[in-house]
Amino acid sequence: MLKLIIFDMDGLMFATEQVNCRAFMEVVKEEGYHPTFEQFTSFLGMNARDIQKKYYDYYGEDTDAEGIYKKVGSRAKQIIKEEGVPEKNGLRELLNAVKEKKLHTAVASGSDTSVIKEYLEKTGLTEYFDMVLSSKDVKRGKPYPDIFLEICQKFDVKPEETLVLEDSSNGVHAALAGNLPVINIPDLLPIPEEQQEKCVAVVSDLVQVIPLLDLKK
């Protein structure tokens, strides 16, 4: 029986990956490097530590990875402040359907806990979630399953009684590694075909998740 739904945030609930990509391109260029879309998409689903390791790989060991990471974050926050938090299509419809079914809900994101809570408050969606957890608060971020398993433990719910919603390959990999059923809703990139085959479903938007909630009774 389905008891718990875990939502990723960036790229899943909110179209913030486009904002983050824009900020990344601007800041890294200003730092004198040559950012690419492929570099940015390799970060998807990762936590801060792992993203900064990638900066060293791409731009050299002398790179101020922490400084660049913070500047990218500040620029993204500025864009959100000026333009608002962009919601993904069907988010509110799905959240209302989940609420009607009285399922536990959690957000599992690579963003800081403060950012998760800020976005939920800005969009008026705080009441829909029983818990928020950042990858920074567990030992290993996605693609490891630690964050999902920690949430399951806190709710005393088995992985097989849980449904994870993820947009990125790293996030889907993390769910599969923890034996958690996962639905993929792609954002910037499709996930690999071999991952798609292991998902409960791959759908184009959050509205299409609603009928799938009844598959796990």
pLDDT at 83 over 60: yes
Domain boundary among 59, 83, 107: 83
pLDDT at 51 over 80: yes
What's the pLDDT band for 216 if we cut at 50, 70, 90?
A: low
Shared domain for 105 and 205, answered yes or no, is: yes
Domain boundary among 83, 109, 137: 83
The string of pLDDT tens digits covering residues 154-210 is: 999 999 999 999 999 999 999 999 999 999 999 989 999 999 999 999 999 999 999
The string of pLDDT tens digits covering residues 118-158 is: 999 999 999 999 999 999 899 998 899 999 999 999 999 99
Shared domain for 105 and 34, answered yes or no, is: no
Shared domain for 180 and 78, answered yes or no, is: no
Q: Confirm if 69 and 110 have CB atoms less than 8 A apart.
A: no
Residue 217 belongs to a domain: no
Q: Which residue segment(s) compose the domain that 103 sits in?
A: 4-15+86-212
Shared domain for 124 and 37, answered yes or no, is: no
Q: Please choose, from the candidates 132, 141, 90, the residue with its C-alpha nearest in 3D space to the C-alpha of residue 114.
A: 132
Residue linked to tokens 């509110």 = 92
The CATH number for 69's domain is: 1.10.150
The pLDDT of residue 155? 98
Shared domain for 24 and 107, answered yes or no, is: no
Shared domain for 32 and 111, answered yes or no, is: no
Shared domain for 77 and 94, answered yes or no, is: no
Amino acid at 46: M
pTM over 0.75? The answer is yes
Return d(Cα 42, Cα 95) in angstroms, integer: 29
Number of domains in the chain: 2
The CATH number for 146's domain is: 3.40.50.1000
- Sign of the alpha-carbon dihedral angle for 117, 54, 68, 72: negative
pLDDT at 217 over 70: no
